[in-house]
Amino acid sequence: MAIPDSTLNPARPTSVPAAQPANPRARGETADGDNTLRPGEAVRQQTNAMILRASLEVSIRAGNDAQTLLFQSAIENINELLADEFGADAIQYAAANQDNSPEATAGRILDLSLGFFDAYAAQRPNDDPDTVASDFVALVRGGFEQGFNEAREILESLKVFGGEIKEGIMKTWDLVQQGYDDFLASRLSEAAGPKAADTAGDTGNATAATRG
């Protein structure tokens, strides 16, 4: 879950460790060049130091950086779930100098993740369209929720998950979940008419417990 330096305060505390250069094992290879790690695991090893540094800086600056942390975490996890079909780092993004409001953050997460639907559906031309749409939304929703929970745990551990920060993060959660529900409803509506769309929201309701 790499967070670019450009999104954070350039003045880093001297106690924050710098990111370590990637080694063969961090790239998923042994000294002999054999692949030993899944792509997601390799990414996590390679970026551990950057996550630590970014997490400490969030405790100092918080605010917009909390949204950046959520965005990066969500996209990294969605990338992992899309890797089998589209390769590593399928979603390309830039987080520097962007609007970090809940609305803008949710919009970017939705645009980047839902933008893969057509390619996903093209790989399953003979499957039921409703099933394809439901499976896709479940896939990207799962990646978002995992990323959300990781970002929330970091903020909670730094004791900054409260007040306006919590309010903004939870608003982003609601907007993304609603966006996934609306997207699925529109796809089911296209496939089977308005009646099918009435059931689309049920998929998102199962995630409400995570929001607490």
pLDDT (tens, 9 = 90+) of the chain, 212 residues, equals: 444 444 333 333 333 334 344 444 334 444 455 555 565 666 665 555 566 555 555 444 545 578 888 888 888 888 888 877 777 767 766 554 578 899 999 999 999 999 989 999 999 999 999 999 999 999 999 999 999 999 999 888 888 889 999 999 999 999 999 999 999 999 987 765 544 445 445 545 545 545 55
CA distances from 157 to 46, 63, 165 (A): 22, 16, 14
Rg of the chain over CA atoms, in angstroms? 18
Whole-model pTM?
0.62
**In the chain, domain spans:** 62-211
Nearest to 172 by CA among 73, 57, 50: 73
Q: Return d(Cα 161, Cα 147) in angstroms, integer.
A: 15
The phi and psi torsions of 29 (rounded to 5 degrees) equal -125, 150
